[in-house]
Structure 1
Amino acid sequence: MPIRYFIKQWLLPPGVLFLLLLSAWWLRRRRPRLAAVCFVAGLGGLWMTSLPVAVQYLARALETEPALAGQDWAGLKQRADAIVVLGAGRERGDPAWAGVDQPTPTALERLRFAARLAKASGLPVLTSGGLHYGTPPSEARLMADSLHDDFGIEVKWLEQASRTTWENAQHSASVLEPLGIRRVVVVTQAWHMQRSRWSFEQAGFEVVPAPVGFLGRDPARPFAGWLPESRAMWQSGQLLNEVAGLVGYRLFY
């Protein structure tokens, strides 16, 4: 896992863009034209990935599933048998929580939405997410604890073996299929839902998408989102990682 993570960080922005800038410096004397191309690509890529408006347009291409209308929440019990919340990492050792790992802000966004859906529909909840580089507790356990402590929701099942979206689906199937559960509400980020739905359908589920955290909206920033922001660079990285995931899943699964 660390090797794969290391390679991925240099193949996707901003890592690959820094490599382009380093290549431009290295080639500046021997191959000045190629160096100029690398410099323009690297600097231009850094600028584009830092723009909220670029995040908006890329997110719109990925966020193909519409939001689940509020008036439909109570009726989910007629369309599904369980709610599945996908893990989104952890925050390590925050002193404010006595050093106990916590779900990331992205995971909390999913948990809050899942809690609302569970209260409205009465559906049982499964949290899905394995260990972080082999270190307990699992993401599923962290999410279950947060749902109980912060939102008053008891989680019925924990899937604690998965490390990827594909494994989220496969291992969730191993938990729910013996119980005859084949219809699930999947809660994840809107930009992640396309790959998540495909993965769960490949595992044999009938999926009701419940996307949250849409990024393809008007950024409502000064100058229409054309000024660089550090947050936009992080969001661009997430979206480009998702694009790579969509391509990779179609090729390898």
Structure 2
Amino acid sequence: MPIRYFFKQLLLPPGLFIVLIVLAWWLRARRPRLAIFFLVAGVGGLWAMSSPAIVERTARLIETEPVLPQDQWTTLQDDADAIVILGAGRERGDPAYGEDQPSLLAAQRISYAAALAKASGLPILATGGLHYGSPPSEAAMAAKMLSEQFGVQVRWQETESRTTWENAQYTTNILRSENKRRVVLVTQAWHMARARWCFEQFGFEVVTAPMGFLSAPADVPLAGWLPEAKAFWQSSLLLNEAVGRMIYPFAYQGTPWP
């Protein structure tokens, strides 16, 4: 496991909040006031991350790309040359299938891309390389799911990328040879702005097709202030995306986020 992954998990929530709680216990006798502060910050942070109300409000700030109306699906070929599905990880060794499967997020993207492809007739490029070096690639798993479960064939597979930036970089290598520069980009709504930015840096004209919105109002008890496990996971996704938006422009272009 890369050392940077260890520090990322430790220094970002929820790891950070757990560290604060541990520090509160360790300092309870020597620095009681500081210990109380750490305890409140740690527990309060965990509660906030578990609240659907916080998820909804945070997502509103991050999900800036509008939905692609269904009445435009059939005319997408007028504005794009291909549909690009971004990789989103995998589930290891699912016993039901006897092999790795696309993650829940990836399956959502695949399902939506299949609907767009059937409506528009556009060819699909699936992206995603190996996860920690283990085959098959995410692109290959997406192609298999599209073929077997949706009856849709993938024309291109980009099998090298590990990040959103590499999704765009290696997709360029494939589509440039066929003079295709207009793409329909499929990914979760909270991920779309960064994904679009990456593809535009490589000269693509992007039609955004976001899905999996977290900002949609949810019918939950106590107006969403009651902690839920699902909200905790969603908060982690949003936090990771917020950090990615801050880092990417400086890491890859040296310019601030537009």
CA shift for structure 1 position 35: 1.8
Farther-moved stretch of structure 1 (14-23 vs 2-11) = 2-11
Alignment partner, residue 184 of structure 1: 183
SS at match of 1:137: coil
CA shift for structure 1 position 250: 2.0
SS at match of 2:143: helix
CA shift for structure 1 position 38: 1.2
Query: TM-score by structure 2 length?
Result: 0.95
Does the 8 Å CA contact 1:183/1:206 hold for their aligned counterparts? yes
CA shift for structure 1 position 39: 1.1
SS at match of 1:73: helix
Alignment partner, residue 115 of structure 1: 114
- Distance across 2 between alignment mates of 1:174 and 1:241: 27
Alignment partner, residue 91 of structure 1: 91
Query: TM-score by structure 1 length?
Result: 0.97
CA shift for structure 1 position 10: 1.3
Alignment partner, residue 51 of structure 2: 51
CA shift for structure 1 position 32: 2.3
Q: Which amino acid aligns with 1:84?
A: V
What fraction of aligned residue pairs are identical, expressed as a percent? 60
CA shift for structure 1 position 75: 0.8
SS at match of 1:101: strand
- Distance across 2 between alignment mates of 1:212 and 1:142: 20
Q: Which amino acid aligns with 1:45?
A: G
Q: What do residues 40-79 of structure 1 show as CA deviations (whole Å, max 9, x unaligned)?
A: 1111000000001110011111100010000000111000
Alignment partner, residue 233 of structure 2: 234
- Distance across 2 between alignment mates of 1:156 and 1:235: 32
Q: What do residues 83-134 of structure 1 show as CA deviations (whole Å, max 9, x unaligned)?
A: 000011111111111x211111111110110001001111100000010100
Q: Which amino acid aligns with 1:21?
A: I
Q: Which amino acid aligns with 1:77?
A: Q
User: How do residues 1-253 of structure 1 correspond to structure 2 at under 5 angstroms?
Assistant: 2-97=2-97, 99-253=98-252
Q: Which amino acid aligns with 2:176?
A: E
Compute the RMSD of aligned alpha carbons: 1.0
Q: Which amino acid aligns with 1:3?
A: I
SS at match of 1:204: coil
Q: Which amino acid aligns with 2:195?
A: S
Farther-moved stretch of structure 1 (75-84 vs 6-15) = 6-15
Q: Which amino acid aligns with 2:33?
A: R
- Distance across 2 between alignment mates of 1:142 and 1:2: 24
Please list every run of 5 or more consecutive structure 2 residues that lacks an aligned counterpart in the other structure: 253-258
CA shift for structure 1 position 161: 0.5
Does the 8 Å CA contact 1:186/1:207 hold for their aligned counterparts? yes
CA shift for structure 1 position 158: 0.4
Please list every run of 5 or more consecutive structure 1 residues that lacks an aligned counterpart in the other structure: none
- Distance across 1 between alignment mates of 2:107 and 2:118: 16
- Distance across 2 between alignment mates of 1:184 and 1:159: 14
- Distance across 2 between alignment mates of 1:71 and 1:240: 33
- Distance across 1 between alignment mates of 2:7 and 2:142: 28
Instruction: State the aligned residue count.
Output: 252
Does the 8 Å CA contact 1:182/1:205 hold for their aligned counterparts? yes
- Distance across 1 between alignment mates of 2:128 and 2:7: 22
- Distance across 2 between alignment mates of 1:245 and 1:107: 19
Does the 8 Å CA contact 1:12/1:237 hold for their aligned counterparts? no
SS at match of 2:125: strand
SS at match of 2:209: strand
SS at match of 1:93: strand
Does the 8 Å CA contact 1:79/1:208 hold for their aligned counterparts? yes
